[in-house]
Structure 1
């Protein structure tokens, strides 16, 4: 089984991943971008940027046009 290697993550990226992981564990689904922004304390535009970075690093997969379309790898 191939394993994805996640490159170095910034503190904010770690916090976003923790937020996503907790939401999936507790609610059964990923948070919305607005929920991530509120939980982490950043603007929604910054969440967009960080999720693109996390996707490029292989930490998440995003399902386009889905409000809760974030999956951990």
Structure 2
């Protein structure tokens, strides 16, 4: 079995670290994308419920839902 030289071992080590960083960044992007999708879904559902509360003239529910929407926007900075 051929032994690897020091420089080959170092190159392999660097490549492993680069690959680990790339994997981390990719996983971070995926997490961000999933979070954004979840946020948009929650907002759409809230807006639909707010519209229904308006149609039903349910003021207490409307006020509750709009506060929830404000909190959601504040929490995510939108």
TM class by smaller structure:
0.3 to 0.5
**TM-score, normalized by length of structure 1?**
0.34
Larger fraction in strand: 1
More relative contact order in 1 or in 2 (CA 8 Å, sep 6+)?
1
Larger fraction in helix: 2
